[in-house]
């Protein structure tokens, strides 16, 4: 057997009210001038103002220039805001887009060149040679788990292609995961982000890569999401369900260091071509892709059915998943969400080029992706 390395280094403060500990923590590190990186919508909402009220004693600036799928220009603008404030640390406050931008603002603020030049697949990829600013992550959604990830997905502004900046250096020094920050999320956002978390856990478990630690985390994350997603959508103020979904989100992101699969390759393509929300794109593709995968790993679907308490075993897992989507209000095919048949060639091209499907349970060709997209139309 080959030698494999494992790493779970992120410090996490989890629970209702965790946001109130941030100021004391930063001060204990000798930090005084944080830049909050968030998105436009959150920047105008009371939830951000309430959080800032707990940062007394700090000189706080806010960059609220993130919107839609995160782009390179948003990162570069955030770096300018960091430099203009003479900041000494970064607080990422928001969903996956804001957190992904926040992770790499520090690179652009302290290193030469454009942020895309630090993407792992850039032909002349630059190294992250300097220490990065102290980074604190605070998720306000329960889906991407970006707060515990060591990569950021950033789109090119002109082509909309998603590029990945990957390095342990972009990991948050500490995560403050406060489920109270998710209480105001509307049901459709809770549903889409929750399906993202569920997809991360399921695809990580199905990946053939060797990582038993991640397998255990992914199965437990799947179990937690399966028991609480509907409640979180239908009872937005249920703090226990919100806590479960925030935990499942983090567990999915920790687990997918094992890698993901073809659902995510499809979702990345849908985000690039049709600007679909990532969680919604995963939800629209997951049952189609998993039904195809089930043929080669039926024993893993038996285990998924067991942890999700699906009566009838693995054969009923896909019908259960479709029913779950309907219960949280995610219905319709791709075509009902703005995807057109003329998009198919570009969708297939981007999905094939995406790295995620390299660890799908069965190999994916361009013909496979074409058929999967057509079935989901």
Longest dimension (CA), the chain: 60
- The boundaries of every CATH 3.40.50.1970 domain in the chain are 11-182
Q: Give CATH superfamily name and number for 187-376.
A: Dehydroquinate synthase-like - alpha domain (1.20.1090.10)
- Helix (H), strand (E), coil (C) string for 82-136: HHHHCCCEEEEEECHHHHHHHHHHHHHHHCCCCHHHHCCCCCCCCCCCCCCCEEE
What's the pLDDT score for residue 8?
Answer: 66
For the stretch 104-124, pLDDT in tens is: 999 999 999 999 999 988 889
What's the pLDDT score for residue 4?
Answer: 58
What's the pLDDT score for residue 32?
Answer: 97
Q: Of 106, 157, 172, 113, whose CA–CA distance to 133 is shortest?
A: 106
What's the pLDDT score for residue 7?
Answer: 58
For the stretch 218-240, pLDDT in tens is: 999 999 999 999 999 999 999 99
Instruction: Read off the pTM.
Output: 0.92
Average pLDDT over the chain reads 94
Top CATH class of 11-182 equals: alpha beta
What's the pLDDT score for residue 256?
Answer: 87
In angstroms, rounded to a whole number, what is the distance separating the alpha carbons of residues 322 and 291? Answer: 11
Residues with Cβ within 8 Å of residue 52, at least 6 apart in sequence: 36, 60, 62
Q: Of 32, 15, 7, whose CA–CA distance to 242 is shortest?
A: 15
- The boundaries of every CATH 1.20.1090.10 domain in the chain are 187-376
What's the pLDDT score for residue 161?
Answer: 80
Which residues of the chain, if any, have pLDDT below 50? none
Contact present, 194 and 29 (Cβ < 8 Å): no
Contact present, 175 and 18 (Cβ < 8 Å): no
């Amino acid at each position: 057997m080959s030698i494999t390395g494992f790493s779970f280094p992120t410090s996490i403060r989890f629970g209702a009210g965790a946001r109130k500990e941030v100021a004391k923590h930063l001060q204990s590190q000798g930090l005084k001038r944080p830049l909050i990186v968030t998105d436009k919508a959150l920047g105008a909402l009371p939830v951000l103002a309430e959080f800032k009220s707990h940062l007394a004693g700090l000189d706080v600036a806010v960059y609220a220039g993130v919107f839609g799928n995160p782009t390179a220009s948003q990162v570069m603008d955030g770096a300018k805001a960091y430099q203009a404030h003479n900041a000494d640390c970064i607080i990422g406050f928001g969903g996956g887009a804001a957190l992904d931008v926040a992770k790499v603002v520090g690179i652009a603020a302290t290193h030469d060149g454009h942020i895309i030049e630090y993407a792992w697949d850039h032909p002349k990829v630059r190294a992250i040679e300097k220490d990065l600013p102290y980074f604190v992550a605070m998720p306000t959604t329960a889906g991407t788990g970006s707060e515990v990830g060591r990569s950021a997905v950033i789109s090119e502004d002109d082509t909309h292609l998603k590029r990945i900046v990957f390095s342990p250096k972009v990991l948050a020094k500490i995560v403050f995961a406060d489920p109270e920050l998710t209480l105001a999320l509307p049901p459709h956002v809770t549903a889409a982000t929750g399906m993202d978390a569920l997809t991360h856990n399921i695809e990580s478990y199905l990946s053939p890569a060797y990582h038993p630690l991640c397998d255990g985390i992914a199965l437990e994350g799947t179990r937690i999401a399966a028991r609480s997603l509907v409640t979180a959508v239908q009872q937005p103020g249920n703090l226990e369900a919100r806590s479960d979904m925030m935990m499942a989100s983090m567990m999915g992101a920790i687990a997918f260091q094992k890698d993901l699969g073809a659902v995510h390759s499809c979702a990345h393509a849908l985000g690039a071509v049709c600007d679909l929300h990532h969680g919604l794109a995963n939800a629209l593709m997951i049952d189609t892709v998993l039904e195809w995968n089930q043929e080669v790993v039926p024993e893993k679907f038996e285990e998924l059915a067991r942890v999700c308490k699906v009566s009838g075993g693995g054969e009923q897992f896909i019908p259960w998943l479709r029913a779950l989507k309907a219960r949280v209000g995610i219905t319709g095919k791709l075509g009902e969400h703005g995807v057109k048949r003329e998009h198919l060639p570009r969708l297939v091209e981007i999905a094939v080029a995406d790295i995620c499907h390299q660890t799908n349970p069965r190999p994916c060709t361009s013909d496979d992706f074409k058929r999967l997209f057509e079935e989901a139309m």
